């Protein structure tokens, strides 16, 4: 329908006209949306992508691309944790899943000292226990049960 060059020029113009915002904003006033804000227009992101219930939202492919980028970010955040080298793949994914969920500011050795000690010494039963005895487990329930079982057994559930 249009050439690649024309498509690229169109994209440049749309960014110029619509603007590009990398955080969700109110399309009526252009302000970034924060928890508790009252919307005037529609929640929008990127270059005019209406993500409200009556808007386009995002596609499954886009969601998986965002997730893949987030997994890459988490992997960079934990790549200095030496003990990760000693874990099998299922146990590594437990750690990555927990960091993805909580962020490294809430899931780290200072906040979870007994868990980290158990993992570093190979006491996976204790690590599993620490997971289930946490405030986090009460919040995420099924997720915690699944991940704790994987941590304890070292096998995909």
Q: Do residues 80 and 140 share a domain?
A: yes
Instruction: Name the strand (E) or helix (H) holding 44.
Output: strand 43-46
Q: Do residues 113 and 72 share a domain?
A: yes
Q: Given 40, 57, 74, which residue is the final one in a domain?
A: 57
Q: Give the pLDDT score at 54.
A: 86
Q: Do residues 28 and 77 share a domain?
A: no
CATH number of the domain enclosing 109: 1.10.530.40
Q: Report in angstroms the alpha-carbon separations of 146 from 29, 78, 140, 149.
A: 43, 21, 10, 5
Q: Do residues 67 and 120 share a domain?
A: yes
Q: Do residues 65 and 133 share a domain?
A: yes
Please write the tens of the pLDDT for every residue from 35-80.
Answer: 999 999 999 999 999 998 888 899 999 999 999 999 999 999 999 9
Question: Of 11, 61, 50, which is closest to residue 28 (Cα–Cα)?
Answer: 50
Q: Between β-strands 21-26 and 43-46, what pairing exists: parallel, antiparallel or unpaired?
A: antiparallel
Work out the percent of the chain whose per-residue pLDDT is above 90.
94
Please write the tens of the pLDDT for every residue from 87-102.
Answer: 999 999 999 999 999 9
Q: Do residues 10 and 53 share a domain?
A: yes
Q: Do residues 120 and 47 share a domain?
A: no
Predicted model pTM: 0.84
Q: Do residues 67 and 52 share a domain?
A: no
Q: Length of the chain in residues, anyone?
A: 157
Write out the two tokens for 91. 């146990």
Q: Do residues 47 and 86 share a domain?
A: no
Work out the percent of the chain whose per-residue pLDDT is above 70.
100
Kindly give the residue spans of alpha helices, DSSP state H, lying in the chain. 4-18, 60-78, 89-102, 113-120, 124-132, 135-140, 142-153
Tell me what the pLDDT averaged over the chain comes to: 95
Q: Do residues 103 and 139 share a domain?
A: yes
Please write the tens of the pLDDT for every residue from 9-37.
Answer: 999 999 999 899 999 999 999 999 999 99
Q: Do residues 77 and 139 share a domain?
A: yes
> What is the number of domains present in the chain?
2
Q: Do residues 112 and 96 share a domain?
A: yes
Domain range for residue 92? 61-153
């Amino acid at each position: 329908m249009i050439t690649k060059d024309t498509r690229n020029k169109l994209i440049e113009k749309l960014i110029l006209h619509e603007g590009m915002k990398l955080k969700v904003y109110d399309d009526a006033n252009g302000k970034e949306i924060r928890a508790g804000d009252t919307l005037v227009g529609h929640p929008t992101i990127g270059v005019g992508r209406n993500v409200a219930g009556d808007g386009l939202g995002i596609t499954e492919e886009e969601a998986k691309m965002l997730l893949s980028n987030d997994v890459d970010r988490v992997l960079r955040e934990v790549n200095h944790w030496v003990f990760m080298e000693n874990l099998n793949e299922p146990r590594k994914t437990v750690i990555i899943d927990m960091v993805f969920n909580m962020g490294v500011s809430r899931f780290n050795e200072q906040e979870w000292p007994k868990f980290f000690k158990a993992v570093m010494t190979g006491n996976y039963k204790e690590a599993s226990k620490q997971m289930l005895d946490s405030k986090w487990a009460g919040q995420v329930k099924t997720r915690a049960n699944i991940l704790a079982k994987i941590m304890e057994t070292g096998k995909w559930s």
